[in-house]
Amino acid sequence: MYMQLNGQVIYYEKSGEGSPVILVHGNGETHKIFDVLIAELSKKHTVYAMDSRGHGQSAAVTEFHYSDMADDVFEFVHALDLVKPAFYGFSDGGIIGLLAASKHPTLFSALAISGANLTPSGVKLPFRIKDRLHYFKSKDPLLHLMLTEPHISKSDLAKITIPALVLAGEKDMIKLSQTRQIAKFIPDSTLKILPGENHFSYVIKSPKLFPLLDDFFSKHCY
């Protein structure tokens, strides 16, 4: 389904019945990375899986900013009259969730994120170097986004007053120190570092994510 909001055409898919849950994917991906997760979550929830602006079937853009994407989520919730949806975001989707929950503390009932960073330096150096080299060749605006944003402060995190689940793989491309910082400064948060997992392994079309989110959402969804 398509929706015009915040000056953009945003594509999303809706599945299931029950309390609302919004899913947002990572950089350069689409909602399809959540196919396995959606099949399970939709047995208990109404799942809204978005393609972020400039991704998938949403309208193309010439530049990207996480704040714009967070505003898209805010507008999406209000356009559909969703009441206290829960939110899960992977990687860039997690950044978007942090920003939306910080700016609008009553928007969600619960916030789950995985593989999110607070600053560009939160990405481990080898991955940043690789992204810089690719950007030098391609000038891809999505790479520019990762190299220059986000900039989320401790005070921003402190504004998130809803229950939060903070996930990362033990071998994540995000520094574990930054993941721990996210959990430390969100007042009502639970941190889980997943042994043996990398940034993508437990998320992309994986059955491993559902049990983690199912437990969390069962306690905190409206």
Quote the pLDDT of residue 220.
Answer: 84
Residue 82 forms part of a structural domain:
yes
| Report field, pTM of the whole predicted structure over 0.75 | yes
Residue 222 forms part of a structural domain:
no
Residue 19 forms part of a structural domain:
yes
Number of domains in the chain: 1
Quickly count: other Cβ atoms within 10 Å of residue 187's Cβ: 13
Domain with 157 in it:
2-215
Cα dihedral sign, 98-112-178-189:
positive
Quote the pLDDT of residue 133.
Answer: 97
Quote the pLDDT of residue 189.
Answer: 98
Quote the pLDDT of residue 65.
Answer: 98
Structure tokens at 138: 């391609």
Quote the pLDDT of residue 73.
Answer: 98
Residue 23 forms part of a structural domain:
yes
Quickly count: other Cβ atoms within 10 Å of residue 11's Cβ: 19
The CATH number of the domain holding residue 10 is 3.40.50.1820
Residue 40 forms part of a structural domain:
yes
Structure tokens at 198: 């990398």
- Strands 2-5, 8-15: pairing is antiparallel
Structure tokens at 151: 């900039």
Decide: residue 199, CB within 10 A, 0-12 exposed, 13-18 middle, 19+ buried: buried
Residue 221 forms part of a structural domain:
no
Residue 32 forms part of a structural domain:
yes
Quote the pLDDT of residue 155.
Answer: 98
Quote the pLDDT of residue 191.
Answer: 98
Predicted confidence pLDDT, tens digits, the chain (222 residues): 999 998 899 999 999 999 999 999 999 999 999 999 999 999 999 999 999 999 999 999 999 999 999 999 999 999 999 999 999 999 999 999 999 999 999 999 999 999 999 999 999 999 999 999 999 999 999 999 999 999 999 999 999 999 999 999 999 999 999 999 999 999 999 999 999 999 999 999 999 999 999 999 988 876
